[in-house]
Amino acid sequence: MINIFENYSKKSVGQTSLFVSFDYDPKVVEIIKQAENAIYDQNTRTWELPLNKLSYLIDNLTSIDDINLDLIPEDAEKEVLDLTIDYKVKPFDHQLEGIKWLINHESGLLLDVPGLGKTAQVIYAAEELKKQKGIKHCLIICGINTLKNNWKREIQLFSDLDCVIIGEKINSKGNITYTSVKERAEQLYQPISEFFVIVNVETLRDSTVVDAIKDSKNDFDMIVVDEIHKLKGATTSQQSKNLLKLVKVGKYHYGLTGTLLVNSPLDAYIPLKFIRKERANFTNFKKFYCNINFVFGHQNIVGYKNVDLLKDEISEFSLRRDKSLLNLPEKIIVPEFLDMPSSQLEFYENLQKGIVEEADRVNIKNTSLLGLITRLREATSCPSVLSSKNITNVKIERACELVDEITSNGEKVVIFSVFKEPLYKLKEILGNKSLLCTGDQTEQELSDNINLFQNDAKYNVMLCTSSKMGTGITLTAASYEIHLDTSWTYAEFEQCCDRCHRIGTEKTVIIYDLIARKTIDERVYELINTKKEISDYIIDNKFNESEELRYLLGL
Q: What is the pLDDT of residues 440-449, one digit of tens each?
A: 998 889 989 9
* CB distance 350 to 393 below 8 Å: no
Q: What is the mean pLDDT of residues 546-553?
A: 48
Residues 131 and 134: their CA atoms lie apart, in Å, by 6
**Per-residue pLDDT, 346:** 87
* CA angle (18, 19, 24) in 5-degree steps: 140
- pLDDT at residue 367, rounded to an integer: 42
Instruction: Supply the pLDDT for residue 109.
Output: 96
The average confidence (pLDDT) of the chain is 86
- pLDDT of 187 > 60? The answer is yes
Rounded CA-CA distance 237/234 in Å is 6
pLDDT at 123: 97
Domain parsing of the chain, residue ranges: 2-70, 93-277+317-325, 331-553
Please report the pLDDT score of residue 360 as a whole number: 45
pLDDT tens-digit profile of 80-105? 999 999 999 999 999 999 999 999 99
Q: Is the pLDDT of residue 113 over 50?
A: yes
- CATH code matching the domain that covers 93-277+317-325, chosen among 3.40.50.300, 3.40.50.10810, 3.90.1150.10, 3.20.20.10: 3.40.50.10810
Distance CA 198, CA 218 (A): 13
Among 199-213, 250-264, 342-356, name the one with the lowest average pLDDT: 342-356
Residue 523's φ and ψ, nearest 5 degrees, are -70, -45
Q: pLDDT at position 234, please?
A: 59
Pairing of strands 196-200, 222-226: unpaired
- 0.85 exceeded by the pTM? no
Assigned CATH class of 331-553 = alpha beta
Find the mean pLDDT for residues 224-250.
85
Pairing label, strands 196-200, 176-178: unpaired
According to the model, what pLDDT value does residue 539 have?
A: 26
**Confidence at 495, pLDDT banded by 50, 70, 90:** confident
Assess whether pLDDT exceeds 50 at residue 534: no
The residue among 307 and 155 whose pLDDT is bigger is: 155
- Nearest-Å Rg of the Cα atoms of the chain is 26
* Closest listed residue to residue 414, CA positions, set 332, 480, 504: 480
Q: Say what the pLDDT of residue 376 is.
A: 86
Residues above pLDDT 70, as percent of the chain: 90
pLDDT recorded at residue 267: 87
For 2-70, CATH gives 3.30.780
The band of 157, judged by pLDDT with boundaries at 50, 70 and 90, is very high
Q: Give the per-residue pLDDT at 355.
A: 66
Cα distances (Å, whole numbers) of residue 223 to 96, 163, 254, 256, 392: 20, 14, 6, 11, 51
Q: Do domains 93-277+317-325 and 331-553 have the same CATH topology?
A: yes
> Residue 168 forms beta bridges with which residues?
178
